[in-house]
Chains A and B, each alone.
Chain A
Amino acid sequence: MCPGRQNCETKRDQARKLVKDLESRGEDAFSAFLEGLRVTGQQNLLELLQKTAPRVHFHPGKSTEAGYPLIQPHPLSPDEGVKGPEVRPRRDSIQYYKMDARPCGLCLIINNVEFEPKTELSIRKGSNVDCDKLEKRFKSLNFVVEVRTNLKQRQIKSELSALSRKDHSIYDCCVVVILSHGTEVSHNRFPGAVFGVDGNHVSVQEITNYLNGQNCPSLQGKPKIFFIQACGGGEKDIGFEVSPDEAKPSIGGDGDQTDAIPISSSSESLSTSDEIDARATLPTPSDILVSYSTFPGYVSWRATVSGSWYVEVLDNILKKHAATLDLTTMLTLVNDEVSQNSAKGLYKQMPGSFNFLRKHVYFQTSE
């Protein structure tokens, strides 16, 4: 695509500068840029940019050098300089997902507590506490919440399938919460799996697939957020550390999945052809974030009366900060707190986040 490396770098440098300019000139910079393209007759580029969501790389802390003065700087009014949720646009923008639909979206909570005896999976005492907390929390964040209890593998799949067949056009977001026992399944994007009460598992990869852009068009371009509290199965539940590689020998040396075959284009990959950083050769999932109570393969600690650490901390952080902080910042706080909590006791727990969102998510709060 570039004739020589020299040209390529120059082009990349230019692209970088342009992107930095667009980011550092305030909220109106992008629309001003589009207007500039229209005025100068760059119709093709204009249509391209309006059609596909532009992927902008944001480098915090790096100073923005003044590059090509494509956009006339306008004087900042005193409060325009303040970046924060107060001034975030309510419409979809380069940096923020639109999140002002009322209600904001659907939230499905699957709460598996009692498992069939043959599975030898223990009753997940305290899970109802987790479930109640999150039901209330997501209602307060203006989601329409539905709770399903004690689902078998097949029922988990059919609930997710039903959710994917709903019309989400009037909503801005979708949340899925799964509280169950979990197990290890290798995957290079979304590893791990959760158990149905019949002891058969559903992989996290499959769970996320139900809502991806191809299978659920009305959620295309909208954030799809998964919270998974998955305790290790059986005895591991008591809480000792098992490393992913010890827990299960990987199949045939190259243990991880190879089922993701490179596909040249799909509705999932919204990346533009002139990506700035290295990019994946496999189609990248878009607009999906999975927050795990613990990395798959590690035990998730659950107090039998008060619920799980992860849900307790998640609920508290959402309560305290949803009005002011974006989701990934809140999840960083959750990770820090859970891992600090667990460091104090005997057992270590580190939540994991696998983040393929393209923009910030700010939840709706009543304040």
Chain B
Amino acid sequence: HRKPVNMQNLDERLNTFARVQHPIDHELLAKAGFYSKGEGDEVICFRCGGGLKDWDPEDNPWEEHAKYYPGCSFLLSEKGQEFVNTIQLQERKY
């Protein structure tokens, strides 16, 4: 009988990457709130539920988090509004 996994915990998130090949550093992903679903490179944020996939090796997990899920309260509490604003208003994807 295993106790339920709590994804709010950094180590628990990190554990989900144990058997996963991911183009991004596992610790960076876990610190940015993400855990692995165990298939492909798809990850989920424990707080906002936002998922991200099709990672490029150069991608930064916090930046991608801020780009697609700017309202995430974990993101805002860890990185602050200024960071989110910068990502949201920077020149990109035009």
Stretch of A63-71, A102-110, A146-154, A327-335 lying at the B interface: A327-335
Closest residue of B by beta carbon distance from A330: B89
When distances are taken between beta carbons in the complex, the residues of chain B under 8 Å from A358 are: 93-94
Q: Which of B8, B77, B88, B94 has the most CB of A within 10 A?
A: B94
Separation of A276 and B59 alpha carbons in the complex (Å):
10
1/0 per position for A313-344, CB-CB distance to B under 8 A? 00000000000000011011001000100000
Q: Which of B51, B59, B88 has the most CB of A within 10 A?
A: B88
Separation of A295 and B82 alpha carbons in the complex (Å):
10
Separation of A191 and B88 alpha carbons in the complex (Å):
14
Known: A12-B56, A279-B54. A186 touches B8 (CB 8 A): no
Separation of A332 and B92 alpha carbons in the complex (Å):
14
Asked if B85 and A189 make an inter-chain contact with CB atoms under 8 angstroms apart, the answer reads no
Name B's interface SS: loop
Interface size class of A (residues with CB under 8 A): 35 or more
Known: A188-B71, A244-B76, A255-B73. A278 touches B55 (CB 8 A): yes
Interface flag for A236 (CB, 8 Å): no
Known: A350-B81, A358-B93. A281 touches B73 (CB 8 A): no
When distances are taken between beta carbons in the complex, the residues of chain B under 8 Å from A55 are: 93
Question: In angstroms, how far is the closest chain A Cβ from the Cβ of B24?
Answer: 8
Name A's interface SS: loop
When distances are taken between beta carbons in the complex, the residues of chain B under 8 Å from A254 are: 8, 46-47, 49
Asked if A256 and B73 make an inter-chain contact with CB atoms under 8 angstroms apart, the answer reads yes
Asked if B48 and A256 make an inter-chain contact with CB atoms under 8 angstroms apart, the answer reads yes
Interface flag for B27 (CB, 8 Å): no
Separation of A243 and B70 alpha carbons in the complex (Å):
16
Question: In angstroms, how far is the closest chain B Cβ from the Cβ of A55?
Answer: 6
In chain A between 259 and 301, which residues have their CB closer than 8 angstroms to a CB of chain B? 260, 262, 275-282, 284, 295-296, 298
A-B contact pairs, 21 of them (CB 8 A): A12-B56, A57-B93, A59-B92, A186-B71, A187-B71, A253-B8, A254-B49, A278-B52, A279-B52, A280-B50, A280-B51, A280-B52, A280-B68, A281-B42, A281-B44, A281-B51, A281-B52, A332-B85, A352-B84, A353-B88, A354-B71
Q: Which residues of B contact A (CB under 8 A)?
A: 8, 21, 23, 42, 44-57, 59, 64, 68-73, 76-77, 81-82, 84-85, 88-89, 91-94
